[in-house]
Structure 1
Amino acid sequence: MSKAHTVLVIGGGAAGNAVTVLLRRAGLTVDLVEAEDDWNATAGSGITLQGNALRVLRELGVWDRVKASGFGFGSVGITAPDGTVLHVARDLRTGGDDLPATVGMQRPQLQRILMDAVRAGGARVRLGTTAEILGQDADGVSIRFSDGSEGRYDLVIAADGLGSSARAAIGVADKPEPTGMAIWRVAAPRPTGVVRTDLAYGGPAYIAGYCPTSDTTLYAYVVEANRDRASIPPETYAEEMRRLASAYGGFWPEITAHIIDPAKVNYTWFDRLLVEGSWHRGRVVLIGDAAHCCPPTLAQGAALSLEDAWVLAQLLTSGEAWDDALFRAYYERRMARVRPVVEASVQIGQWQLDGVRDADVPGLMGRTMTMLRELP
């Protein structure tokens, strides 16, 4: 590269942290700003990381910590609502044969691992800080921070999530749209016999499932049709999730007994977003949930965001000019990968909403996951 580039990353989630680590490793000057004071260090219950996500985490140099902190497994069970196991399928190793098919882990633990990697890489981090795009030209972007200071960068990477203010600020009109489903999530102790994800279809919810996240923990979730959030007071979250989960057998009674604290239960709608045309405007480029999101029916949200960071960092450090051609190449490379995952994730949920009983869910999942074995 002809000169030392400066980069501002807006957002300290998985995508923002990953791209920061990779760019710092290449010697670029990187500032990261995160709106939350605690850097989201305690947010969320659990996360399912499939092989293509693990492949990027290995590239970041954090795989050993992820492996030690999470729970690896290689299959998924399909059960009846009463807990009877109907089928066990082997998961495809989308990250290659030298990585587990799947690792479940506590989401805050993954965030702490990525935070530590960002700090170790030497990026300047500013928490409790937002960034406003004042304007840009062919050479860079002018920024005003919420503390009143200003800065100028050769590139701004908007990794500020589903409700991205940077996306709106650069004139991208796409917004997330609800798919019609919602999910209840909670972290709980892991019953001894839970050694993989099990999914129950039917009963009072569309899906009731759980994923081990360590030797002692799991996260459990129940998927239903979305409801008006205003009609569900937060203090009733535990009661509502417990009511749905109590209809399921097998390990569920043991799990349900721990759904007590409403503050530890998370309720969110499923959304769909796929920004079309391009993921950049000038010297501002979108990654992660700011550019795309999908229901977790394929457990690919974080994986796709991590892949975005990996691909963008490869292009930015390739020695090529940071111009429209480079950012267009990023968009085209990622869209070919992201679109089928978003569409498949939405389709699986829609089949359930429509009550389609003969849908080829295994076939669609198999085709999509086979595609993800290829390098992004």
Structure 2
Amino acid sequence: MSTSPAVLVVGGGASGCAVTVLLRRAGVAVDLIEAKEDWNATAGSGITLQGNALRVLRELGVWEHVKESGFGFDSVGITAPDGTVLHVNRDIRTGGDDLPATMGMQRPQLQRVLTDAVRASGATVRLGTRADTFEQDDEGVTVRFGDGSTGRYDLVVAADGLGSATRAAIGVTDKPEPTGMAIWRIAAPRPAGVTRTDLAYGGPAYIAGYCPTSDTTLYAYVVEAHRDRASIPPETHADEMRRLASAYGGCWPEITEHITDPAKVNYTWFDRLLVEGAWHRGRVVLVGDAAHCCPPTLAQGAAMSLEDAWVLAGLLTSGRAWDDALFQEYYERRIPRVRAVVEASVQLGQWQLDGVRDADVPGLMGRTMTMLRELP
């Protein structure tokens, strides 16, 4: 490795931004490329960040911005479909007692906080840019970009998401698989009484829930069995989500009034991915959704991606050689924790798909979240 290492980060989502900021803080030269011309173009409606995600965001130096932009809370309510509150559970503070258990945020706000941090770090950013080929030798990687230019790097970090082209290009054959569920999401004004996540089980959907994302906003979602996406024209998305949401009481009637614009409704299948074996091939390393993803039943997708970035950056800046042993240690530190989250997230959904009424949902969630209090 050269005395002044250079890293290419492919993808400008949470894990890509996080690893860029952490490496730049240690003086590593980083180029970040993002295929989209507009970093925030498809940032989505809302996101639930558990405490262990907030812990990494604090390490990035952006916690104060996150706190100002989001809505923190420490409990989750379980309701009947008519809105009757059946139980309120105090959440485990997985990031430590000095951070909220949960923070709701508008996704574009989180993305803006992260991209601002990347730009402030001094990294070179190229939007609308893809990496086409990776030619490796013992010293590094030569990357050819979509515009015909090339670059030479000591390491490539593949943070290009669930459909990672980099993962496929380096010969990792694992692909995401649908779990059988899908989710409708929308951002909406926050009713004054919404100060935590409430989840309704039953009714026409498996789950109907919402999460406050600021003093004035929330995002709402309903989860159902997945359908052929081609059978749901985009112009009907608001009608479909409103039809499902209108069966729920409590705060839902006020929320449902705002489900009118199909362009603001997001419909997504739940997927599962866990790359088995090493998460690297030579000097190309996978992080985040490129290596693993899970249904949002535990709200741990972003947290796992951010933790990947934290662990990998810590190893890369430890003074050790960037070799197979280091990259394998990264995998071995991450895989037990990520596997537990992926399997628990999938199991929670599968119990609903199978109609299991005596499933130990509280036990599984409690064990998993307690494990996540430990540092990754």
Structure-1 residue corresponding to 2:331? 331
Structure-1 residue corresponding to 2:230? 230
Shift of the alpha carbon at 1:75?
A: 0.1
Please give the per-residue CA displacement for 1:224-258, whole angstroms capped at 9, x wherever unaligned.
Answer: 00000000000000000000000000000000000
Shift of the alpha carbon at 1:41?
A: 4.8
- Letter aligned with residue 236 of structure 1: T
Distance in 2, matches of 1:374 and 1:133, equals: 38
- Letter aligned with residue 149 of structure 2: S
Structure 1 unaligned residues grouped into runs of 5+: none
8 Å Cα contact 2:2/2:154 also seen in 1: no
Distance in 2, matches of 1:133 and 1:92, equals: 44
Q: Report the more deviating stretch, 249-258 or 140-149.
A: 140-149
Structure-2 residue corresponding to 1:288? 288
Distance in 2, matches of 1:269 and 1:336, equals: 25
Distance in 2, matches of 1:250 and 1:45, equals: 22
Structure-1 residue corresponding to 2:202? 202
Distance in 1, matches of 2:360 and 2:288, equals: 28
User: Which secondary structure does the structure 1 equivalent of 2:337 belong to?
Assistant: helix
Does 1:171 find its partner at 2:171?
yes
Distance in 2, matches of 1:177 and 1:347, equals: 14
8 Å Cα contact 1:41/1:111 also seen in 2: no
Distance in 1, matches of 2:184 and 2:43, equals: 14
- TM (norm. structure 2) is 0.99
Shift of the alpha carbon at 1:42?
A: 5.2
Shift of the alpha carbon at 1:84?
A: 0.2
Q: Report the more deviating stretch, 127-136 or 190-199.
A: 127-136
Distance in 2, matches of 1:200 and 1:133, equals: 47
Structure-2 residue corresponding to 1:302? 302
8 Å Cα contact 1:104/1:212 also seen in 2: yes
Please give the per-residue CA displacement for 1:69-97, whole angstroms capped at 9, x wherever unaligned.
Answer: 00000000000000000000000000000
Distance in 1, matches of 2:278 and 2:42, equals: 33
1:232-251 aligned within 5 A = 232-251=232-251
User: Which secondary structure does the structure 2 equivalent of 1:271 belong to?
Assistant: strand
Structure-2 residue corresponding to 1:8? 8
Shift of the alpha carbon at 1:4?
A: 1.1
- Letter aligned with residue 250 of structure 1: G
Does 1:25 find its partner at 2:28?
no
Structure 2 unaligned residues grouped into runs of 5+: none
Does 1:71 find its partner at 2:71?
yes
Distance in 2, matches of 1:137 and 1:248, equals: 58
Does 1:371 find its partner at 2:371?
yes
User: Which secondary structure does the structure 2 equivalent of 1:30 belong to?
Assistant: strand
Please give the per-residue CA displacement for 1:8-60, whole angstroms capped at 9, x wherever unaligned.
Answer: 00000000000000000000000000000001355200000000000000000
Distance in 2, matches of 1:146 and 1:171, equals: 19
CA RMSD of aligned residues (A): 0.8
Aligned residue pair count? 376
Shift of the alpha carbon at 1:107?
A: 0.4
User: Which secondary structure does the structure 2 equivalent of 1:185 belong to?
Assistant: strand
Structure-1 residue corresponding to 2:34? 34
Distance in 2, matches of 1:302 and 1:16, equals: 11
Distance in 1, matches of 2:361 and 2:331, equals: 28
- TM (norm. structure 1) is 0.99
Structure-1 residue corresponding to 2:343? 343
Please give the per-residue CA displacement for 1:336-358, whole angstroms capped at 9, x wherever unaligned.
Answer: 11000000000000000000000
8 Å Cα contact 1:74/1:196 also seen in 2: yes
Shift of the alpha carbon at 1:5?
A: 0.6
8 Å Cα contact 1:133/1:141 also seen in 2: no
